[in-house]
Structure 1
Amino acid sequence: MAGTFELKTAKSGQFHFNLKAGNGQIIATSEMYESKASALNGIESVKANAPGAAIDDQT
């Protein structure tokens, strides 16, 4: 099962999203956005950039 982006509104009225794995576990959380449109743009950015992201192992 594919991951799911879950868009939420905080008590402050700002927006953020979680990326959930197929098993429902949260695997990424966004920053807070002032508008819903900005949060949706953040989701699109993750979708566009994540498949080719390099691993920066700083251990």
Structure 2
Amino acid sequence: MAGTFEILTAGTDTFQFRLTAADGTVVAVSPRFHSLKAVVAGINAVRENAATGFVVDRRNLGAG
């Protein structure tokens, strides 16, 4: 079973989405959006970019 995008209200005038895995684990939580149209666009952007995105390790392992 695939993950699920859940659209949530976040305050009185904002929305966010949450991506959950098939087992119910929360994988990602979005920032707040000011319209339903914007939150749907955010979901579509994640769908389009996640599968082809590069993993970039930004830890500074040499410091310290």
Corresponding position of 1:23? 23
TM-score by length of structure 1 reads: 0.92
TM-score by length of structure 2 reads: 0.86
Query: What is the Cα-based RMSD across aligned positions, in Å?
Result: 0.9
**Structure having the larger proportion of residues in helix:** 1
Instruction: State percent identity of aligned pairs.
Output: 37
Corresponding position of 1:9? 9
**Count of aligned pairs between the two proteins:** 59
Secondary structure at 1:17 match in 2: strand
What does residue range 36-55 of structure 1 map to in structure 2 within 5 Å?
A: 36-55=36-55
Structure 1 unaligned residues grouped into runs of 5+ = none
Q: Could you list the runs of 4 or more consecutive aligned residues of structure 1 that deviate by over 3 angstroms after TM superposition?
A: none
Structure 2 unaligned residues grouped into runs of 5+ = 60-64
* Bigger Cα Rg: 2
